[in-house]
Copies of this chain bind each other. A is one copy, B any other.
Amino acid sequence: MEKSTPIGIIGGLGLIYGAIFMGVGWQTFFDVPSIVLVLGGTLASLLVSFSMDEMKQVVPSLKGFFSFSAPDLSSYVHDFAELSRTARRDGLLALDRSIAELEDDFMSFGLQMAVDGIEEEAIEKLMDLKVKEDLKPRTFIAKFFITAGTYCPAFGMIGTLIGLIQMLQNLTDPSQIGAGMSMALITTFYGALFSNLIFLPMADKMQTQVSEVRRAGKMIQTGVLSIVQGDGPSMVEKRLSLYLGDTADGEKGKTPDLAKAA
Contact = CB atoms under 8 A, between A and B. Distances in A.
A20 B163 CA distance: 9
A205 B37 contact: no
A148 to B, nearest CB: 11
A119 to B, nearest CB: 11
Contacts of A195: 154
Interface of A: 2-5, 7-9, 11-12, 15-16, 19-20, 22-25, 28-29, 33, 36-37, 40-41, 43-55, 57, 60-61, 64, 67-73, 75-76, 102-107, 118, 126, 129-130, 133-138, 140, 147, 151, 154-155, 157-159, 161-172, 175, 177-179, 181-182, 185-186, 188-189, 192-193, 195-198, 200-202, 204-205, 208, 213, 216-217, 235, 238-239, 242-246, 250-262
Contact of A246 (B55, B137, B162, B239): B137
Contacts of A33: 19, 22
B24 A158 contact: no
A178 B133 CA distance: 56
24 contacts: A2-B51, A4-B47, A4-B55, A9-B44, A11-B40, A22-B33, A45-B197, A45-B201, A48-B197, A50-B204, A69-B259, A72-B262, A73-B262, A104-B258, A126-B239, A129-B242, A133-B250, A136-B246, A137-B246, A164-B185, A165-B189, A169-B182, A172-B178, A213-B259
